[in-house]
């Protein structure tokens, strides 16, 4: 873990500051904890709204990709790790195409590999990476 600042004593109590990945903010945790939250309180948007063709990147993990005024999304192969998740929101009046160049892409609940899926208007989907070459897409999608 990088960027960890520890203030406290050998008993494990005190204040711990942790630099959160993919953000410019730190999280502070004081131990012992009676209650508290560590992590994102919401899903941050990854950069500006996409208006053209966009390929998902590792920096998008845990974030929201918003598509506006048209555009398309590509899921690349051999890029992500097991457990990575990216959410996509289609903020247009029409459907958008998600191209799956990843080796195997399933729609949740369907046992078929899809090369492309359609994200419906104002629809949201999440892409869960089972491995670098397999993902499952769940949400407002069709084939």
Report yes or no on 47 lying in a domain.
no
Same domain, 70 and 132: yes
Report yes or no on 62 lying in a domain.
yes
Same domain, 15 and 67: no
Burial 22-57 (b: 16+ CB within 10 A, else e): eeeeeeeeeeeeeeeeeeeeeeeebeeebeeebebe
The enclosing domain of 57 has a CATH number of 2.60.120
Show the domain range for 78. Answer: 53-142
Report yes or no on 76 lying in a domain.
yes
Q: Tally the domains of the chain.
A: 2
Q: What is the mean pLDDT of residues 44-67?
A: 95
Same domain, 31 and 88: no
Same domain, 66 and 18: no
Same domain, 58 and 121: yes
pLDDT, tens only, 68-104: 998 999 999 999 999 999 999 999 999 999 999 999 9
Same domain, 135 and 79: yes
Report yes or no on 45 lying in a domain.
no
pTM of the model: 0.74
Same domain, 11 and 70: no
Q: Residue 22 above 70 pLDDT?
A: no
Measured distance CA(123)–CA(117) in Å, rounded: 12
Q: What is the mean pLDDT of residues 12-24?
A: 57
């Amino acid at each position: 873990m990088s960027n960890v600042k520890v203030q406290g004593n050998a008993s494990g109590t005190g204040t711990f500051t942790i630099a959160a990945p993919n953000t410019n903010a730190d999280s502070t945790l004081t131990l012992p904890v009676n209650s508290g939250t560590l992590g994102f309180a919401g899903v941050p948007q990854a950069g500006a709204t996409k208006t053209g063709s966009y390929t998902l990147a590792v920096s998008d993990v845990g974030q929201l990709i918003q598509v506006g005024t048209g555009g398309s999304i590509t899921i690349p192969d051999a890029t992500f790790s097991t457990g990575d998740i990216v959410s996509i929101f289609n903020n247009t009046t029409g459907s958008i195409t998600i191209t799956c160049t990843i080796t195997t892409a399933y729609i949740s609940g369907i046992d078929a590999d899809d090369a492309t899926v359609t994200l419906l208007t104002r629809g949201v989907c999440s892409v869960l990476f089972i491995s670098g070459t397999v993902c499952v897409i769940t949400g407002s999608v069709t084939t």
